[in-house]
Amino acid sequence: MTLEPAVLVLEDGTRYPGHAYGARGRTLGEVVFATGMTGYQETLTDPSYAGQIVVMTAPHIGNTGVNDEDPESSRIWVSGYVVRDPSRVVSNHRATGSLDDELVSEGVVGISGIDTRAVTRRLRDAGAMRGGVFSGPDALLTPDEQLDLVRGAAAMAGRNLSAEVSTVDGYVVPATGDPLGRLAVLDLGVKTSTLNYLAARGFDVHVLPQSVTLDELLGIDPVAVFYSNGPGDPAASDQHVELLRGVLRQGLPFFGICFGNQLLGRALGYGTYKLPFGHRGINQPVVDVETGRTEITSHNHGFAVDAPIGVVSESPAGFGRVEVSHVNLNDNVVEGLRALDIPAFSVQYHPESAAGPHDANYLFDRFRDLVLATQKDAHA
């Protein structure tokens, strides 16, 4: 394991010296922490992490290496990677290589050998902030030069990253369950497991680029529409909000996850806001308001919907009654929305989480049931 010097620099001037890990050079982004002890390969390849330097709170990372089965997309999306103790040995029958080598091959600059829990405490106290990892020749820059680069980087608030992570050309994932019809999926950073779960419910999944128009979307004659997870500030995605309003006016069933939840909130007329340090990891308790059941869920979001909890409200955009369907038990943040007069619902967390937990996987069945009920009502 290399002992080349590296340093993590936060925009408040805090410095964490360590060792180079992965590619050498410099990387800038929003520094966030993720609390999962498993699933690091899914985290790295989740497009929702685009533009972010991810700090892993679990101390030992990389012991199972990397493989060709677990990626959630075609590449690593994190801007940088921060770990305490990278594994020196790969030990797993599915492994095709080491995490260190994978980071090098994909040009991801990382750092190891620092107290990641101290970084986490700093981010919890001060909030997620811009930062940079410097190694190789960039480790020799003066502290002032490094800090100037960090403070000159783009902030996450106000950023629209959908075009960076979305597919350029549409494609189809055929249904593997009982056929239900075509599903239009707006790719805002969609994950492989999401597409597989939707196909298993009988949808022919048509994945569309984020630039698609309403006419193009309706041209595939979908039975429903789905908005995926993705990075960026929902306040910067006006075109996707207007597209969704057009979908809702057509009466098509809608399901949104993560970024899709925030965009449904905006389409219904509610606001969004940036959380201090966000929710990231696989151990967030969320209550389903309708059933009272608490689910342990996977999260990756820095923004949330500002909607009234505990009451049924009128959509400010004229789509009828709306209720908050799920609430985070840690901080009372809105984790789901359900429209009562149109066939639309969404959740802020990740029921598709490939690394677990799978408490909320039933939501894909709920979506299928919603589509079937809408079709039945249309033929009644």
Spatial distance between the Cα atoms of 231 and 262, rounded to a whole number of angstroms: 11
Peptide bond into 308 cis (omega under 30): no
**For residue 266, what is the enclosing H or E element?**
helix 259-267
Q: How confident is the model at residue 355 (pLDDT cuts 50, 70, 90)?
A: confident
**For residue 81, what is the enclosing H or E element?**
strand 80-82
pLDDT at 377: 86
pTM of the full structure: 0.95
Distances in whole angstroms, Cα of residue 273 to Cα of each of 124, 356, 379 = 17, 27, 41
Please determine, for residue 322, whether its predicted confidence score (pLDDT) is greater than 90: yes
pLDDT, mean of residues 316-326? 98
φ, ψ (nearest 5 deg) of residue 251? 80, 15
Please determine, for residue 370, whether its predicted confidence score (pLDDT) is greater than 90: yes
Helices assigned H by DSSP within 86-237: 99-105, 116-126, 143-151, 162-165, 192-200, 214-218
SS3 301: strand
- pLDDT tens string 17-60: 999 999 999 999 999 999 888 889 999 999 999 999 999 999 99
**For residue 250, what is the enclosing H or E element?**
none
Six token digits for residue 357: 């937990």
pLDDT at 2: 53
Q: How confident is the model at residue 185 (pLDDT cuts 50, 70, 90)?
A: very high
φ, ψ (nearest 5 deg) of residue 22? 80, -145
Distances in whole angstroms, Cα of residue 59 to Cα of each of 164, 265, 360 = 31, 36, 27
Please determine, for residue 113, whether its predicted confidence score (pLDDT) is greater than 60: yes
Across the chain, which distance is largest between two alpha carbons, in Å?
72
Domains within the chain, CATH numbers bracketed:
5-151 (3.50.30.20), 162-378 (3.40.50.880)
- pLDDT tens string 12-22: 999 999 999 99
Q: Are 197 and 226 in contact (CB under 8 A)?
A: no
What count of residues does the chain have? 380
pLDDT at 353: 83
CA dihedral 137, 138, 144, 148 (to 10 degrees): 150
Q: What is the mean pLDDT of the chain?
A: 95
Q: How confident is the model at residue 214 (pLDDT cuts 50, 70, 90)?
A: very high
Spatial distance between the Cα atoms of 75 and 374, rounded to a whole number of angstroms: 37
Please determine, for residue 250, whether its predicted confidence score (pLDDT) is greater than 70: yes
Q: Which amino acid, residue 271?
A: G
Active-site positions read: 258, 350, 352
